[in-house]
Amino acid sequence: MTPTLYLTRNGLLEPLGQSQVLAYLRGLSRDYRITLITYEKDEDRADAARMAAMRAECDRLGIRWLPQRFRPRPRVIAPALSMLRMVWLVQREVRGQGARLIHARSYIPAAVAMLVSRMTGVPFIFDMRALWPEELITAGRLRRGSLLHRAIVAAERACLRRAGAVVSLTHAAVDHLNRVYPDDMAGQRVAVIPTCADLERFVPGAQKPPLRVIGCLGTVLSGWFRLDWLSSFLSIAAARDPQAVFELTTRDDPARLRVALDPDGRLGERLRIAPSAPEDVHRVLQGQIASVMFFTDGLSKLGSSPTRMAEILGCGLPVVANDGVGDVAHIVRDYRVGVLAQSPDPQAMSSAWSDLMTLLEDPELPSRCRAAAEEVFSLETGTAAYAQLYRQLTDGDG
């Protein structure tokens, strides 16, 4: 089996680590001897039972897991120090394990992989996930034109140019990169692999939900979720349907979120905010009739493929979303699996609610959502696409 190294700053115990790292590695580990380096948050590391269970799962799959501690502060300094240690760690593992490929998930791991690749000659995959510099600017964490911004963009261009392959979540992001970096992208091997879901687990529920539950899955306090849109939608939905219940499944601070979305307490017990273990998310979705996802648009979101969309559609539910986010609107329109709100204005949200109610009357909707998930977001298809890149880079094919 070909030894490979997978590097990510996400934690394996986080929902994304479960759905977008381990899910793929389960399939890839059949043909590759994988060393996995992740960065776990303190609250997850403190859960000894879950850490032990994940260790056992990795052992069962033949994955050599090296969990590191995630240190978010001090800002700027912590990632820089993390990068230095990461370079040392990755170089040690590449040389010690004889890795023939480094799979780097997102920008900081890719920059590390590029440095180690130049020292060792081992090729790397720049798995972009999103247009990170633009996301940082939108979230107010980076100023365009600043020294740090210029450094990140320079690293982005270097990784695009030197990677053995580039993986993008969306066609929209690839089009953008080809426009702004034509020289760096020239001749590059590029694969579009959207965030996939385990569609053996994310399936429609056996029974129709007894309540009219409108869901929202994942973080909404990230800086790029449109809280004002969500608040407007919940207000309109609550007024239009007195029986509707709103369920936010998130690890965000519930008190802070409730103040932001329901400052007057009008929704009361109709607004439920609670986290879910990753292994239970599909059951949460199966108890809902639709799910809401409003993200900031513009350059920052051209590269976004929300994981939640794959999971929601897999469970046969439509989405209520907005335009300008990766390929989301294209999928919603082409497959007729949701509603696109035009603005947070009450009239626009009222129209979106009416469109959703009409859509939910379509008896073919659940099967259409499921079919779209299978065609666009299949884990098997995504794993096969990664496996093809692994073969090309380790066997010299293409």
- 190-192 sheet: strands from edge to edge: 64-69, 32-40, 2-8, 102-105, 124-127, 165-168, 190-192
* Nearest to 385, CA basis, from 4, 65, 27, 111: 27
Residue entry with tokens 């779209």: 372
Residues 133 and 11 occupy one common structural domain: yes
| Full residue range of the structural domain in which residue 183 is found | 2-196+379-395
Residue type, 382: G
Residues 242 and 296 occupy one common structural domain: yes
* Nearest to 27, CA basis, from 200, 191, 203: 200
Residue type, 199: L
Residues 141 and 7 occupy one common structural domain: yes
Report the domain count for the chain.
2
At residue 180, the pLDDT reads 96
**205 within a domain of the structure (yes/no):** no
In the chain (398 residues long), the average pLDDT of successive 10-residue segments reads: 96 89 95 97 94 97 96 76 91 95 96 97 95 86 93 96 97 95 97 91 90 94 88 96 96 94 93 93 96 89 89 97 94 97 97 98 97 93 95 78
Task: Name, in order, each residue with C-beta under 8 angstroms of 392's C-beta and a sequence gap of 6 or more.
Answer: 165, 189, 398
Residues 361 and 245 occupy one common structural domain: yes
At residue 76, the pLDDT reads 67
Which CATH number does the domain housing residue 47 bear?
Answer: 3.40.50.2000
Q: Give, as one character, the DSSP assignment of residue 184.
A: H
Q: Where are the alpha helices (DSSP H) in the chain?
A: 15-17, 23-28, 42-45, 48-61, 77-97, 107-120, 132-138, 147-162, 171-180, 182-185, 227-240, 254-261, 281-286, 307-314, 328-335, 346-360, 365-376, 379-395
Q: Give, as one character, the DSSP assignment of residue 215.
A: E
Q: What is the pTM of this model?
A: 0.81
Residue entry with tokens 């912590």: 78
Asked whether the beta carbons of 115 and 17 are under 8 A apart, the reply is no
Residues 131 and 276 occupy one common structural domain: no
Within 13 A of 374's CA, how many CA atoms are on the CB side? 10
For the record, the structure tokens of 32 come out as 């590759």
At residue 398, the pLDDT reads 44
Residues 47 and 60 occupy one common structural domain: yes
**201 within a domain of the structure (yes/no):** no
Residues 99 and 222 occupy one common structural domain: no
Residues 276 and 367 occupy one common structural domain: yes
At residue 396, the pLDDT reads 61
Residues 175 and 252 occupy one common structural domain: no
Residues constituting the chain: 398
Residue 173: count of CB within 10 angstroms of its CB: 26
Asked whether the beta carbons of 72 and 45 are under 8 A apart, the reply is no
